C-alpha cells in the first residue's frame, strides 16, 4: 500500500506532503522522516467548520469554544505520496534555479493569507511582524504564526518585511481561528509573555542577591583582615614602647650608679658594697609649736590645734565656725589645684584673712601644720609646690569637717 503521509521520527507528527516535511524540518531542525500508511486526520468542526489535524487539536478547540461535534473527512482528502515525483520535481526546480542563478532575481514581499494577516493585526501585531510570522511558519495557521512570534520576538529583524524571489509562492492558507479563539489565544500569549518576564526577573533577582551576598562576604573578610593587622601593629608598637622604656630606665639607673661611684671616689671613700645594708633615712625632727602638748601624729597635732582655737574663742561660736570654714577652703583649693600659686600664697596683712583666721590664736599654726611657711619677713604664708603633700591635706580636711559637723568638738 502506498504511503499516505510522512512521519517525523523525532516528534511523531504526521505530514501530508514532502513540502510540509521540508517546512517542518526548517522550523524544528528535525531530519528523521519516514513514509507512513497512516493518513493525516482531518476533523472538521460541525459548528464553525474549523479543520483539526489531530485529536489534541480538536480537544483544544472544544475547550476554547465548547464545540463538540466533528466530522471525520480524513479519507476524503487522503492521497498517496509519490516520493519519486517529488524528487523529480525537486530536481527540475534545482535545475531551473541553477539556470537562473546567473541572472539577479527580483525580491518581493511573499504572499500570505490575508485573513490570517488581518487576524494577527487585530490581535495587535505590526503588519511586518505578522507577514514574517506567517511566511516562516508555513502560512498554515494562526496558532503556528503566533508561536513563531513568541519564539523569535527578540530577533533584530523581527519588524522587517521578508523578501523572497518573485517565483516563490506561499502554500494555500488554512482556515483561520474564530474571533473567540483569537481572544483566547491573545490572552494566552499575554499570559505566557508575563510569566516569562516574571521568571526572568526572578532569575535576575536571584543572581543579584547572590552577587550582593558574595560582595558582602568579601567586604567582611577584608574588614576582619584589616582589623587583625591593625591589632597586631598596635601590639608590636606597645611592645616596642615598653622595651624602649625599660632600656631608658636601665640607662638612668646605670648613670646614677656611675655618678654615685664617682662622687665616692672624689671624696676618697671606698666603693660601696652592694651587699651592705643601706643606712636608714635620718629622722626629721618635727617643728615645735607653741602648744603645750604635741601629739605624736600630724592628724593629732591638727586636731589639738583646732580644739585649742575653739577653746580660746568659745565665747564667739560664729567666729570659730567662720575660721574653720575658711581654713577648709584654703586646704581644698590647694588639694584640688596644687599647681596654682595663688592658692598656695596668703598675705598675712590681708584684712579679710586677719578677721577670719589671722586674729584667732591657732589659725596660722594650723596652716603651718599643713605645710605653709612664712616668707619675705613674715609678710606671706607660702606652700612650695614640691612640698605639697596631698595625704596631709586630706587629713587636714577630715579634721576640719569633724570640727565643723561635730557639735561636741572641743567641749571637753
Average pLDDT in the chain:
80
Q: Which residues pair with 34 in a beta bridge?
A: 7
CA angle 76, 78, 84 (to 5 degrees): 145
- Grid cell at residue 14: 504526521
DSSP 102: T
How large a percentage of the chain has pLDDT more than 70? 82
Ordered DSSP codes for 37-83:
SSPPP-EEETTT--EESSHHHHHHHHHHH----EEE-HHHH-----H
Interhelix angle for 179-266 vs 142-151, to 10°?
10
Is 324:334 a contact under the CB 8 Å cutoff?
A: no
d(CA 185, CA 119): 11
Residue 222: per-residue pLDDT: 92
Is 138:20 a contact under the CB 8 Å cutoff?
A: yes
d(CA 86, CA 199): 46
C-alpha to C-alpha distances, 171 to 93, 117, 131, 201, nearest whole angstrom: 16, 14, 14, 40
How large a percentage of the chain has pLDDT more than 90? 17
Q: What is the pLDDT of residues 184-242, one digit of tens each?
A: 877 887 788 888 889 989 999 999 999 999 999 999 999 999 999 999 999 999 999 99
C-alpha to C-alpha distances, 321 to 217, 328, 351, 394, 409, nearest whole angstrom: 72, 11, 18, 19, 11
3-state DSSP assignment of residue 307: helix
For the ranges 141-145, 178-182, 252-256, the one whose mean pLDDT is highest: 252-256
DSSP 355: I
Q: Which residues pair with 375 in a beta bridge?
A: 380
d(CA 243, CA 78): 106
Is 310:349 a contact under the CB 8 Å cutoff?
A: no
On the question of pLDDT at 98 being above 80, the answer is: no
Q: What is the pLDDT of residues 27-85, one digit of tens each?
A: 777 777 787 777 777 888 888 888 887 777 788 778 878 888 888 887 776 677 665 54
Q: How confident is the model at residue 169 (pLDDT cuts 50, 70, 90)?
A: very low
Ordered DSSP codes for 380-398:
EEE--GGG--HHHHHHHHH
Is 328:397 a contact under the CB 8 Å cutoff?
A: yes
Residue 224: per-residue pLDDT: 92
Q: Please, what is the end-to-end C-alpha distance for the chain in angstroms?
A: 149
Laid out side by side, the sheet with 33-36 consists of 14-15, 5-8, 33-36
In the Cβ-directed half-sphere of 396, how many Cα atoms lie within 13 Å?
28
d(CA 366, CA 385): 18
CA angle 380, 382, 388 (to 5 degrees): 170
For the four alpha carbons of 65, 69, 75 and 77, in that order, the dihedral sign comes to negative
Q: Which residues pair with 51 in a beta bridge?
A: 44
d(CA 211, CA 217): 10
Amino acid at each position: 500500500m502506498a504511503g499516505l503521509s510522512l512521519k517525523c521520527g523525532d516528534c511523531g507528527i504526521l505530514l501530508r506532503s514532502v513540502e510540509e516535511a521540508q517546512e517542518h524540518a526548517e522550523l524544528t531542525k528535525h531530519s528523521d522522516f519516514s513514509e507512513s500508511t497512516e493518513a493525516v486526520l482531518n476533523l472538521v468542526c460541525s459548528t464553525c467548520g474549523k479543520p483539526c489535524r489531530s485529536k489534541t487539536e480538536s480537544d483544544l478547540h472544544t475547550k476554547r469554544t465548547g464545540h463538540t461535534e466533528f466530522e471525520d473527512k480524513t479519507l476524503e482528502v487522503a492521497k498517496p505520496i509519490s516520493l519519486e515525483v517529488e524528487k523529480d520535481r525537486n530536481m527540475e526546480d534545482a535545475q531551473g534555479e541553477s539556470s537562473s542563478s546567473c541572472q539577479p532575481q527580483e525580491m518581493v514581499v511573499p504572499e500570505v493569507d490575508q485573513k490570517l494577516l488581518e487576524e494577527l493585526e487585530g490581535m495587535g501585531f505590526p503588519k511586518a511582524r505578522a507577514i514574517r510570522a506567517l511566511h516562516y511558519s508555513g502560512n498554515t495557521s494562526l496558532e503556528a504564526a503566533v508561536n513563531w512570534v513568541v519564539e523569535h520576538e527578540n530577533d533584530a529583524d523581527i519588524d522587517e518585511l521578508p523578501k523572497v524571489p518573485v517565483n516563490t509562492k506561499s502554500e494555500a492558507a488554512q482556515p483561520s481561528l474564530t474571533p473567540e479563539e483569537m481572544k483566547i489565544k491573545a490572552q494566552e500569549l499575554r499570559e505566557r509573555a508575563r510569566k516569562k518576564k516574571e521568571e526572568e526577573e526572578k532569575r535576575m533577582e536571584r543572581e543579584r542577591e547572590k552577587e550582593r551576598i558574595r560582595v558582602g562576604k568579601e567586604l567582611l573578610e577584608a574588614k576582619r583582615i584589616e582589623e587583625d593587622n591593625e591589632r597586631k601593629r598596635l601590639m608590636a608598637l606597645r611592645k616596642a614602647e615598653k622595651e624602649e622604656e625599660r632600656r631608658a630606665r636601665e640607662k638612668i639607673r646605670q648613670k646614677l650608679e656611675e655618678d654615685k661611684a664617682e662622687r665616692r671616689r672624689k671624696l676618697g671613700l671606698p666603693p660601696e658594697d652592694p651587699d651592705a645594708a643601706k643606712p636608714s633615712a635620718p629622722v626629721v625632727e618635727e617643728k615645735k609649736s607653741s602648744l603645750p602638748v604635741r601629739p605624736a601624729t600630724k592628724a593629732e597635732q591638727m586636731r589639738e590645734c583646732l580644739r585649742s582655737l575653739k577653746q580660746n574663742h568659745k565665747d564667739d561660736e560664729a567666729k570659730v565656725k567662720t575660721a574653720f570654714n575658711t581654713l577648709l577652703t584654703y586646704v581644698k583649693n590647694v588639694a584640688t589645684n596644687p599647681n596654682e600659686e595663688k592658692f598656695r600664697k596668703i598675705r598675712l596683712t590681708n584684712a579679710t584673712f586677719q578677721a577670719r583666721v589671722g586674729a584667732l590664736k591657732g589659725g596660722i599654726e594650723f596652716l603651718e601644720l599643713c605645710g605653709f611657711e612664712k616668707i619675705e619677713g613674715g609678710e606671706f604664708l607660702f606652700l612650695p609646690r614640691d612640698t605639697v603633700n596631698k595625704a596631709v591635706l586630706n587629713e587636714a580636711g577630715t579634721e576640719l569637717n569633724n570640727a565643723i559637723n561635730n557639735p561636741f568638738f572641743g567641749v571637753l
